[in-house]
Homo-oligomer: A and B are copies of this chain.
């Protein structure tokens, strides 16, 4: 076998300014189940205790936010958001333990994607 020079063992630096970017989401039966926007919505529901206030905070219609929550709840093994019977101010909404788990799992997935993209940036353009 040929001896390689030591400087060939290092992957060459990528072309300056190039960067791999990416997006990841999870489908259930070919429909979107969890993605970045949906996780932000879950976090806003946790923060505000209400779908309508979460929607407002995201400049999203209540109808759209409700549809996203309904889609997540239908696709999950158990609901990610439940209605909480309210007092005089009307009912709110709570993120369940399963919802919290999904928020965490999606954060982990995005973290691993970020690592993957850093590796690919180093690998690709040499």
User: Which A residues are closer than 8 A to B by beta carbons?
Assistant: 15, 17-29, 33, 77, 105, 108-109, 112-113, 116-117, 120, 124-125
B19:A22 contact, CB within 8 angstroms? no
B24:A117 contact, CB within 8 angstroms? yes
Specify how many copies of this chain sit in the oligomer. 2
A77:B21 contact, CB within 8 angstroms? no
Closest Cβ neighbor of A20 among chain B residues: B26
CB distance from A12 to the nearest CB of B (A): 13
- Assuming the contacts A22-B113, A109-B124, asked whether A77 and B15 have C-beta atoms less than 8 A apart, the reply is yes
B26:A23 contact, CB within 8 angstroms? no
A98 and B66 alpha carbons, distance in the complex (Å):
48
What B residues does A19 contact at CB under 8 A? 26-28
CB distance from A16 to the nearest CB of B (A): 9
Closest Cβ neighbor of A23 among chain B residues: B23
B21:A17 contact, CB within 8 angstroms? no
What B residues does A24 contact at CB under 8 A? 20-23, 117, 120
